[in-house]
Chains A and B, each alone.
Chain A
Amino acid sequence: MTRAILAGLTEFALTALVIGLVILAVLVPLALSQPDPLEVLRLFVLGPFGTIRHMGNILEAATPTMMTGLAATIIFRAGMFNLGVEGSFFLGGLAAAATAVLLPLTGLIATPAAILIGALVGSLACIVPGYLRVRFGASEMVNSLVLNFAFLFAGVYFLNYVLRDPNAGALMSYKLPGDFTLDRLLQGTRLHTGVIIAFVACLLGGIWLYGTRSGLNVRIVGWSPGFASHLGLASSKLLMQAQIAGGLIAGMAGAIEVLGLYSRFSWTGLPGHGWTGITVAILARENPFLVIPAALFLAYLQVGGDMLARNLDVPSEIVGLVTAAIMLAVTAAAIFRHPAFLRLIRDIKGKEAGEEQGA
């Protein structure tokens, strides 16, 4: 057991090393063009840990992507490449804002009701392409991709014609009433209780996927439909359940984002946290537990890059380049399947296997 952990740590260390090298490769030339090269590295690498507030920013940025990452993980695990998570996030935020603006709810039920309605409405963007796939066999990838934009424009129409505050200087909803909000956790940051929901959701998601019967069945349906039909599992039902669960989580994420951070709803484009969630899911190798570090890691890069751009004359686009390079490096299987590395892992694990057999 200890050796298995050791082997895992070796893989992790190698991942970290690769990421370090990539960051260096992109940043060093940049740093050298600056008056104080070391400051660039220090700011990017250590800056996000510099103050409580910056660490709060990391958590804040990771909150929505943890949940969309979890949603994408569940959907992908069921073998569907449904990209509706982005649309669900948008619709969830819109529906939560609509609840707050249009429904006369007050007190303790206000926020939960808005989150619930956000989740329900938001889930549509995942359910529709999922259903069209299960029922008609239409490609869920393409349908979800285009329908995300259709939902966006429908949402903007709703915002403009129903929720819009004519006295606001921009296309924005009326102010969300004060009862519809999530408590702030940390002075000086906008960290709110949503981050706790996100953490708990990922942990529950992991327990469900690996620790329950229905999680196992979904993994079987996702990996090998033939085996699932051999076992007599209700594949269509399980598939739809996963799309619904993913959609609900993504919609909830959008609702939490709007209630936690904003006093009005003003998205007129897709906010992008769903796309990031898809990246998070793939980085986390579709493991809900790993979604947490993966989302935190991307958020950390984001905060580090923002600090660079804010404090030095570094263009903010550099963050996009670094993130792209890191995504590729972390998923570059060739590095992790290199004979030398495999031999190392095998040596570490192999001794254990030997020990077990000996015992």
Chain B
Amino acid sequence: MIEFFSAIADPAVFATVLRVMTPLLLAALGVLISDRAGVLNIGMEGIMLSGALIGVLVSAATANPFLGLFAALIGGGLLGALMAFFINGLGTQFIITGIALNMAALAATTLGLFLATGDKGMSGALKSGVLPNIDIPLLGGVPILGPLLSGHHMLTYLAILAVPAVAIMLARTPFGLHIRAVGSDPKAAAAAGISRNRVQLYALTLSGVLGGAAGAYLSMGYVSWFAQNMTAGRGFIALAAEVMGMGTAWGTFAAAAVLGIAETVAITMQTKGLPSELMQMIPYIVPAVMLTVYAARRQAKARKIS
């Protein structure tokens, strides 16, 4: 146990956890907002993928990575809004809508990449920028904590700041109240004059914005290009993280951190020569085990009380 903590306190390992966690956390918070509004965003994977491509294309075209990020956020938001239009405007089921979006996004990003670069694999030929790491002025000098907390990617800080922001938004703002009301009982919310369609539209849009940021982190943070299907299932892991987080922002944060640690452990173990297939199972087994343990404990508690 001590070994584990001292390993995590190693700035390099800690930074790995943060990097692995960042896209999961951004996406999972997006899923959280949609879920609390009663329309679980199954299309997160597709939104991330689109955000990743849009960010690269716009950043390459404008030579400004911040405009690229901005475009990724807008693009993600528009896709979220599009989902809301389909679900509430045309009455499609939210699961089908998400699956369809994922399918369409995979095809469309490949096509888009091809149209922009003449290449279906990756955008290496485009000169797209990366978003910067941020050194926190005073903190950087503090021993132990400084190297641990300073100098990470701007979207990592954004993701972590998004946790209290989402928590406060849900608990303390009228919009958050409306989200919780609509997600829990749309009829009752309607009786109070709150339009389910409008709230879900805004919630999915916001969810899409966070998904766009998660995608931009992959293509403008991790690496400086877009590659076909580069999200590699992170949108689905984000769904798992959100469910593990029990519908709260802080819980989602904890779940994303645990998944980040699991993946980091898997990566470190691989360099020690354990079979790669078994290491690749770790990030998938951990959420299943945690989910089940939580559920079992909740059940046991409920039984004890009644």
Contact = CB atoms under 8 A, between A and B. Distances in A.
In the complex they form, whether A and B have CB atoms below 8 Å apart is answered with yes
Interface of A: 81, 129, 132, 136-139, 141-143, 145-147, 149-150, 153-154, 156-157, 160-161, 275, 278-279, 282, 315, 317-321, 323-325, 327-328, 331-335, 337
Contacts of A132: 288, 291-292, 295
Counting from the closest, the 8 A-B pairs by CB-CB distance are A320-B107, A333-B91, A157-B277, A138-B295, A324-B104, A334-B91, A317-B107, A332-B90
A149 B236 CA distance: 11
Interface string B283-306: 011011001101110110000000
B82 to A, nearest CB: 10
B90 A147 contact: no
Contacts of B292: 132, 136, 138, 143
B175 interface: no
A333 B285 contact: no
B239 A145 contact: yes
B284 A320 contact: no
Interface string B255-293: 000000000000000000001011011001101100110
B111 interface: yes
A317 B233 contact: no
Given A136-B299, A324-B104, A160 B111 contact: no
Contacts of A315: 110-111, 114
Nearest to A148: B284
A146 B92 contact: no
Contacts of A278: 99
A318 B292 CA distance: 40
Given A142-B243, A320-B107, A328 B92 contact: yes
Interface of B: 86, 89-93, 95-97, 99-101, 103-104, 106-108, 110-111, 114, 233, 236-237, 239-240, 243-244, 275, 277-278, 280-281, 284-285, 287-288, 291-292, 294-296, 298-299
B281 A150 contact: yes
Contacts of A149: 233, 281, 284
A337 B299 contact: no
A335 B296 CA distance: 43
Given A146-B284, A154-B277, A279-B96, A321 B295 contact: no
B257 to A, nearest CB: 17
Given A278-B99, A282-B96, A328-B97, A142 B278 contact: no
Contact of A137 (B100, B236, B281, B298): B298
21 contacts: A136-B292, A136-B295, A136-B296, A137-B295, A137-B296, A138-B292, A139-B295, A142-B288, A146-B236, A146-B287, A149-B281, A153-B281, A153-B284, A154-B277, A157-B275, A317-B110, A324-B107, A331-B92, A331-B93, A331-B96, A332-B91
Given A153-B281, A282-B95, A327-B96, A334 B89 contact: yes
Nearest to A137: B295
Nearest to A146: B284
Contacts of A337: 91
A149 B288 CA distance: 11
B104 A321 contact: yes
Nearest to A268: B277
Contacts of B91: 332-335, 337
B291 A317 contact: no
A321 B107 CA distance: 6
A146 B86 contact: no
- Looking at chain B's contact residues, the main secondary structure is helix
B152 to A, nearest CB: 27
A318 B281 contact: no
Contact of B291 (A142, A150, A153): A142
B104 A325 contact: yes
Contacts of B243: 139, 141-142
A150 B103 contact: no
Given A156-B277, A157-B277, A320-B106, A150 B284 contact: yes
B103 A324 contact: yes
Contacts of A325: 100, 104
A325 B115 CA distance: 21
Contacts of B233: 149
Contact of B288 (A146, A156, A319): A146
A328 B110 CA distance: 21
Contacts of B284: 146-147, 149-150, 153
A323 B97 CA distance: 12
Contact of B93 (A141, A275, A282, A319): A282
A149 B232 CA distance: 12
A250 B235 CA distance: 25
A142 B107 contact: no
Nearest to B298: A137
Given A132-B288, A328-B96, A328-B97, 6 more contacts: A138-B294, A143-B288, A146-B288, A323-B103, A325-B100, A327-B100
Contact of A279 (B99, B275, B281, B291): B99
Nearest to A320: B107
A275 B292 CA distance: 24
B96 A145 contact: no
A147 B289 CA distance: 10
Interface centre among A143, A146, A321, A332 (most CB of B within 10 A): A146
A169 to B, nearest CB: 20
B281 A328 contact: no
B279 to A, nearest CB: 8
Given A137-B295, A317-B111, A327-B96, A154 B281 contact: yes
